[in-house]
Structure 1
């Protein structure tokens, strides 16, 4: 992994090129190690990176919708009647509206788990320190956090390393929610692709919370 937010300050520094006073250097992240194996093609994927694969699955196994409501009431242009092939004021049809509702529901669930993970990690860092090691099972487990490693390409070693992954999850959640806004998306399969993305980051968030509490609180390990 690496060190996040490194800052170095010199009151006075003399080098071959000159003398500096009040010099402060800030580095976003310092990589500490070479990966044990090659990182895959899509580390920290955004919404678009896995879209082609999502659409292959969705075109082969097409979603089936059973609307629980004939109306869309999500914006001030409505209420819009979506029955019998009608479209709403923003252009959405019934299939797109149903998949948008599913995406909203998935984002709510993901936000709950990721928010819990953020609160837990911040509390544990404050109590035990950023360098507290991630320990799920010592030699009994080859990869402590397989979901996180699969999605992001990194292997968190300490509690502090989890913050970067949480930043990623929260960023993706914001993008997903923005797609639910009026007029931002109009295709039901694209909504469903984003549902897959929400489920993926939800799994990462849940794994972070589990790994953090097992490691810091000494819960039963593998």
Structure 2
């Protein structure tokens, strides 16, 4: 049995975030999602928030707290890509990805931490990527932002681990979403040939790991990086 918790998933209107919110609802949690546009799954509270704006994140938390009580599980999933090779990458293309994917996570987790400390309970789940440690040509901005989440979770574990708060990282590999469907077919085939499982992952497979990390069985796991990548990034 899982203890029902108040869960906030950022970027919950599509792809991995939407699937995580659905799975958390199925596990009996009270679920809120932040979106820039669109809606979360039926049964979730949808609130608008911009990862680049601490005030909008604060307002979103305030709404969720009024409806469901203090947030106990934070899933920082919202992220963007602006892929291009280093020599063509503008400073704006670099800093905007860092600001959403890394600094946005900082804003969300900082706002959540006050409540987590009061309750002496919390689960912080950060969505990274296999390319955070494996690397990917054309993704210096994205892979830097995703690698940084590992240091973030481990530092948070050292700061707050004694207060019943865990912080872990999920590192998905090539998962079938709208974002990956947009890649050229030749690139998709190239990725597929390097995945030992010989298939792409499903969003539900990420959601299952997130639900487990949020649950009662994972209370002694913190600072971990859990790859869900079919073996693509082994050892990275």
- Bigger RCO (CA 8 Å, 6+ sep): 1
**Which of the five TM-score ranges fits, normalised by the shorter chain?**
under 0.3
TM-score under structure 2 normalisation? 0.21
TM-score under structure 1 normalisation? 0.22
